[in-house]
Structure 1
Amino acid sequence: MSFTVVLVGRPNVGKSTLFNRLAGKKLALVDDTPGVTRDWRSAPAHVGGLSFTVVDTAGLEDVTDDSLEARMRRQTEQALARADVALFIIDARAGITPLDRHFANLLRRGKTPVLLVANKTEGKASQPGMFESYELGLGDPIPLSAEHGEGMADLVEALLPYAPSEDEEKAEEVDDGFDPSIPIGDQPEPEEDRSKPIQIAIVGRPNVGKSTLLNSLLGEERVLTGPEAGMTRDAIAVDWEWRDRRFKLVDTAGMRRRARVDEKVEKLAVADSLRVIRMANVVVLVVDAAAILDKQDLTIARLVISEGRALVIAVNKWDTVDDRAMALRQVEDKLEAALGYIKGVKVVTISALKGHKLDTLLDGVLETYTVWNRRIPTAQLNRWIEGVLDHHPPPLVEGRRVKIRYVTQVKSRPPTFALFVNKPLDLPESYQRYLTGHLRESFDMPGVPVRLLLRKGKNPYAED
């Protein structure tokens, strides 16, 4: 992106609504409840021929202690310092508040250029607030309605002076191979392209250390952490590099059992986490060493596998465990009982707070990602199926043998195979599970989903 635009303002003035409008999709959670957004998040924006990075932030609060609101404000100030221009958003219908005046004074003294945006200007009720906004000393307000998309042309015109010239854009232009218009999990897959980031979703129950893990990997306080459960609400995506590999790390909200989720904002946050899982390449399930793989952990793990994502389990707070051998046996037993059909899920013990074994975790992520991308030549698959049929042919159905003619891999991510059978409906599920497990073992594909599709047809390579 050519330049960065940050959205700031007090809570509930429409920053996240404008963020979604500029990004062209519903990425940030939006609700009437003040303070829904807590961490800053960014996305590419393309409006009126102008391309830039837009950053959504938490609502500004006039607090400087160690409370949650003060930590949210420090996160916003961090995003503001990195931006090329700030949009200070006010609610024109509510008029100018003392908090608006306070932060307008702070923004005027800062180094980042500021444009004043009067949101919610649809209808006559906004006119008094528009006139009041001149007293903030930030110039003419830009009237718009983020919810209805009105006034976007005026906003683009105001941002034009901050866009780099064509010569500057050409000098900075680098073809990194990543197309942000394509959904995260749907990048082209025939050959692994190292220029494209590996999408890693960090998921788990509330308060297991997901945000602490993200901060430890990045080496900075990128997202809020603290003893309060449910700190993260929006899924926060961060681009990152490690050992010459590009990653997109996504921190998600904690996922409790559905019966315990009653607040509307938490429901929105969990739905956002599910969206991230569906678009990820590798999902790191963070579990607490004090309650390893409880029922909800296993529910999340099964969801990840059912979505076809690669799974790595990070046992956090390992430094607090006394009997580590017993804890590891407990992990193995629970995985065998609940996920026995997915052999070899990578389990890494870490301490996110102290930064212990994070390299080991990332090595496990790369190994699992490589398996998830694996492609097996058709010739090898058909030699394999011949050996399987010689040693363990399909059972008889009504006195007749089901004939397996040929097998090929139709896609990777996850590895998916088409089995051509004369009577697909007659091949028992138990034999299909046997073939899937044998495939996984024979071609060394531990810890990832392997899918087997039954097709009716003849071997296209066989002569008539």
Structure 2
Amino acid sequence: MKLPIVAVIGRPNVGKSTFVNRLAGDKQAIVYDQPGITRDRTYRPAFWQDRDFQIVDTGGLVFDDETEFLPLIRQQAMAALVEASVAIFLVDGQFGLTEGDREIAEWLRRQSVPVLLAVNKCESVDLGMAQAAEFWELGLGNPYAISAIHGSGTGELLDDLITHLPPADLLIEDDETKVAIIGRPNVGKSSLLNALLGENRSIVSPISGTTRDAIDTTIQRGDKTYRLIDTAGIRRKKNVNYGAEFFSINRSFKAIRRSDVVLFVIDVLDGVTEQDLKLAGRIIDEGRAVILVINKWDAVEKDTGTINEYKKEIMARLYFMEWAQIIFVSAMTGQRVSKILNMVDIAAESHRRRVTTSVINEVLEEAVSWHSPPTSRQGKQGRIYYGTQVTSQPPTIALFVNDPKRFNDNYRRYIDRQFRDQLGFTGTPVKLVWRGKKMRELERGANKATKVK
């Protein structure tokens, strides 16, 4: 059985994201004093006592307003409630009972999911009980006085919560491949996520900045689990003001860091922009596996050679990502989207792969026999003594040589290509660390000193 889902429902600015951060034990959800910051539903792992579950943050519910994103936020909250084992209705104890709270309570009573009522912002224990008492009127049972900021009162609430969850011995959490969807604003990241899921999981709008949180969604395909992370579009730094967008972009950068594979989405109509080049550099610096997803392919007039022409143009700009897989898709029509997860599997396997020292040195021996290391004007030639893989994710290989300065960029690229061609590192960067003779002697001295101790 998959992890049960707990949906957090409430009006705007009652503290839902702060509460979710408290239960998840981090500060991943954006908290900012402005209504409408959370729009999509975002899933986060949490636990209490012996129970693991997923907690879902949702946008603030307003039933009598059809402006901007509010109808779409309602759809997302309703979708979260449909799949939830239990809902937590969060209200604002300092603000008091509102007509909006009454409307949400009436709607929740019509649903077939258990509801727990949590009265937030009750920082004072004595005053908090009086603040919570007002909410008995909603007819949803005991109102728990809590403080999402300080954590007070949440223990009693969670004790009640887990009685609505299945026993711990029925739950198995699969290993998962984390896939971050990254790109500039309006390149189709949320549309791509929806196409991969086959449902409207993220709000799609032509308005730049629609997605704000990094939205996690898990899907199962066969025996494999994928965590798809939709992110906010990343604009040029000089165009970003402090506030909601600033926090959104930081979440996007963190999503790159915690992913195994990045789906780097590029708008085929715009081509590879300067901002795309900067994002590509950021992804490489983080050492992530990459799939170049060239979106909006349905909008391009084509003949038999069009795809090769576009591929050549894109890779000319992203020449430093020549190892990445590339696919031309339409998130709008679904064209080729079904092939993406197969490419993710290949890239993730390469990213995690470990190769024995003997195999690495076989590749080196053959590479050197075909193309000897360069010789300097003084007649001094580079020598590679041996290589070994020191870590994975990404694969990192240490090459022990007589002098790293004797190996120019062309030869280093040649060795990199040999490892890729012979070992099949597809879709992942491979880091080569060139260590000189002096470094080897220092390491040997350090090992001897350790043995003496």
Shorter-chain TM-score bucket reads 0.7 to 0.9
* Residues 208, 286 of structure 1: 8 Å contact kept: yes
| 1:435 counterpart = 2:415 | yes
More deviation in 103-112 or 19-28? 103-112
AA in 2 matched with 1:146: A
1:201 aligns with 2:184: no
- 1:16 partnered with 2:17: yes
Aligned to 1:83: 84
Change (3 A) 1:444 1:87: closer
Distance in 2 of aligned mates of 1:397 and 1:197:
52
Q: Is the counterpart of residue 310 in structure 1 residue 289 in structure 2? A: yes
Residue aligning to 2:261 = 282
Work out the CA distance in 2 between the residues paired with 1:65 and 1:250.
Answer: 28
RMSD after superposition: 2.6
- 1:157 aligns with one of 149, 156, 159: 159
* Aligned pairs for 1:59-458 within 5 A: 59-63=60-64, 65=66, 67-123=68-124, 129-164=131-166, 168-170=167-169, 172-174=170-172, 178=174, 196-323=175-302, 325-326=305-306, 328-336=308-316, 338-390=317-369, 391-396=371-376, 400-424=380-404, 427-428=407-408, 431-455=411-435, 456-457=439-440
Query: Take 2:8 and 2:134, find their aligned partners in 1: how far apart are those partners?
Result: 20
Shift of 1:75: 0.9
Q: SS of the counterpart of 1:117?
A: strand
**In 2, distance between residues paired with 1:339 and 1:219?**
30
Per-residue CA deviation, residues 330-363 of structure 1 (Å, 9 max, x unaligned), is 4423423x43233242221111111111123333
Alpha-carbon distance change, 279 to 427 in structure 1, aligned in 2, over 3 angstroms:
same
Question: Residues 65 and 453 of structure 1: is their aligned pair in 2 closer, same or farther, counting only changes over 3 Å?
Answer: same
Q: C-alpha deviations, 1:127-156, integer Å up to 9, x for none?
A: 664332222222331011110111122212
2:85 touches 2:165 (CA, 8 Å); kept in 1?
A: no
Determine the C-alpha separation between the residues in 2 that align with 1:404 and 1:117: 65
Q: Equivalents in 1 of 2:361, 2:3: separation in Å?
A: 51
TM-score normalized with structure 1 length: 0.86
* Distance across 2 between alignment mates of 1:264 and 1:60: 22
Q: Name the amino acid aligned to 2:150.
A: H
Amino acid at match of 2:102: R
Equivalenced residues, count:
436
CA contact 1:293–1:331 (8 Å) conserved in 2: no
CA displacement 1:219-239 (0-9 Å, x = unmatched):
111121122222111111111
1:366 CA displacement = 2.6
Deviation at 1:249, TM superposition (A): 1.2
User: How far 1:276 sits from its partner (Å)?
Assistant: 0.9
Is the 8 Å Cα contact of residues 265 and 295 (structure 2) preserved in structure 1?
yes
Name the CA distance, whole Å, in 2 between partners of 1:213 and 1:275. 20
Bigger mean CA offset, 440-449 vs 302-311: 440-449
Offset at 1:10?
0.1
Instruction: State how far apart, in whole Å, the 2-side matches of 1:130 and 1:11 are.
Output: 18
Shifted more, 65-74 versus 30-39: the winner is 65-74
Tell me the alpha carbon deviations over residues 361-393 of structure 1, each in whole angstroms, 9 at most, x when there is no partner.
333333333333344332232233234444322
Aligned residues of 1:63 and 1:70 also touching (Cα < 8 A): no
SS in 2 for 1:341: helix
TM-aligned CA distance change 1:125 to 1:264, over 3 Å: farther
| Corresponding position of 1:190 | none
Residues 60-92 of structure 1, C-alpha deviations (whole Å, 9 max, x = no match): 111475851011011101111222221111111
Separation in 2, partners of 1:111, 1:14: 25
Q: Deviations 1:191-244 (Å, cap 9, x if unpaired)?
A: xxxxx2221111111111111111111111112112222211111111112354
Preserved contact between residue 200 and residue 282 of structure 1 (Cα < 8 Å): yes
**Equivalent residues in 2 for 1:19-38 (5 A)?**
19-38=20-39
Deviations 1:236-263 (A, max 9, x none): 1111123543211111111111111114
Q: How far has the Cα of 1:398 moved from its partner?
A: 6.1
Indicate the residue corresponding to 2:55 in structure 1: 54
Equivalent residue of 1:367, what SS? helix
Secondary structure of the equivalent of 1:280? coil
Determine the C-alpha separation between the residues in 2 that align with 1:107 and 1:247.
Answer: 31
Partner of 2:228, secondary structure, is: strand
Could you tell me whether the CA contact under 8 Å between 1:301 and 1:311 is conserved in 2? no
Letter in 2 for 1:33: Q
User: 1-side partners of 2:240 and 2:207: how far apart?
Assistant: 16
Task: Give, in whole Å, the separation in 2 of the partners of 1:25 and 1:239.
Answer: 19
CA distance in 2, matches of 1:161, 1:363: 39
Q: % of aligned pairs identical?
A: 38
Q: Deviations over 1:300-322 (max 9, x none)?
A: 12211221111111111111101
Say which is worse superposed, 211-220 or 10-19, in terms of deviation. 211-220
Letter in 2 for 1:144: I
* 1:373-422 alpha-carbon deviations (Å, 9 max, x no partner): 34433223223323444432243386544432111122232221111123
Tell me how far apart the structure 1 counterparts of residues 422 and 114 of structure 2 sit (CA, whole Å). 61
Partners of 1:200 and 1:250 within 8 A in 2:
yes
Does the C-alpha gap of structure 1 residues 439 and 339 become closer, same or farther in structure 2, counting only changes over 3 Å? farther
The 1:453–1:57 alpha-carbon spacing in structure 2 relative to 1, beyond 3 Å, is same
Structure 2 gap segments, 5+ residues each: 445-453
